Amino acid sequence: MDPAPAIGIGAGFAVVIGANVMEGGNPMSLLEIAPILLVFGTTVLVTMAGGTMKDAKKAVASAKRAFTGNAASAEDLIPAVVDLAERARREGLLALEDAVKAVDDDFLRKGVTMAIDGTDPEELRDILESEVYAKRLADKQAAKFFADAGAYAPTIGIIGTVMGLVHVLENLAAPAELGHLIAGAFIATLWGVTSANVIFLPIGNRLKRLGELEASRMEVTIEGIAAIQNGSNPRIVAQKLRSLLPGAADAEAA
C-alpha cells in the first residue's frame, strides 16, 4: 500500500489544526455538526446528481482504492516478459502454456494465452488496446466524481455561511451572541474550502495518477506480447520495453 494519500491528507489536516492552535484558536470550535453535515452531505448528493447511481456506487470503491491501491511499476513486468520471449523463441509459443500460468499479471497472462491460442496479432492488439481504452474511461469517471465534489464543496460552504449570516441578522437585538454566531457562520466556508482542497481534489488526482500508471503498464504489456508473438530476440524485447518507460531517454543520456 502506498502511504502517500494517507500521509498527505492526514498531515494536511494536522497543519490546519496546528495553525489554528498557534493563532490561539480552539480546534473543537471548528467541529460544528450542522456546517459539516451541510458541506459533506450536500456535496456528495449534488455530485451524485451530476452522474448516475452506478457512478456514485463506484466512487465508494474508488475512494478505498485511492488509499489502498498501489499501481505496480511497468518496469517490474519486463523480466517476466523477457523470460517468456526467450522461451517462445527457443521452443515456440505452445511451450508457454505451462509458464504463463505462473504469471502474476492478469493482463499479461490473458494476452499471452490468446497468442498461444492462435489469435491474429492485429486482432489481439485491437482487443487489448480496447481494454486499455475502457480502463482509461472508467478511471477518468472515478477521478471526475471527486474533482466535481471538489468544485462544489467551496460554493456549498458559502451557502452555509450565507445561511449563518441570515441567522446573525435575525439576532441583532442580542449583541452578546453576535460574535459566536458570526464565527459559526464562517465554519461552513472553512469546511467547504478545506474538504475540497485537502480531501476531494487530492483523491481525484490520486485516482487519475493510479489510472495513468496502470494504463502505462498495460501498454508496455501489449508491446511485450506482440514481441513474444513475433518471436523477437529477448534482448531486443527488453531494450524496446525499457525505452517505453517514463524517463528512459533521460536515463540513456546520463
pLDDT digits (tens, 9 = 90+) for 200-209: 999 999 999 9
Residue 49 confidence (pLDDT) above 90: yes
Share of the chain above pLDDT 90, in %: 44
139-161 tens-digit pLDDT = 999 999 999 999 999 999 999 99
Judged by average pLDDT, the poorest of 30-34, 126-130, 231-235, 250-254 is 250-254
- Is the pLDDT reported for residue 116 higher than 60? yes
Judge whether residue 253 has pLDDT over 60. no
Dig out the grid coordinates for 142 from the structure. Answer: 472515478
d(CA 252, CA 250): 5
Give the residue extent of every domain in the chain. Answer: 33-76+120-249
> Which H or E run includes 43?
helix 33-49
Distances in Å between the alpha carbon of 79 and those of 15, 189, 235? 43, 52, 11
Cell of 136: 482509461
* Closest listed residue to residue 223, CA positions, set 129, 137, 109, 131: 129
Give yes or no for residue 249 having a pLDDT over 70: no
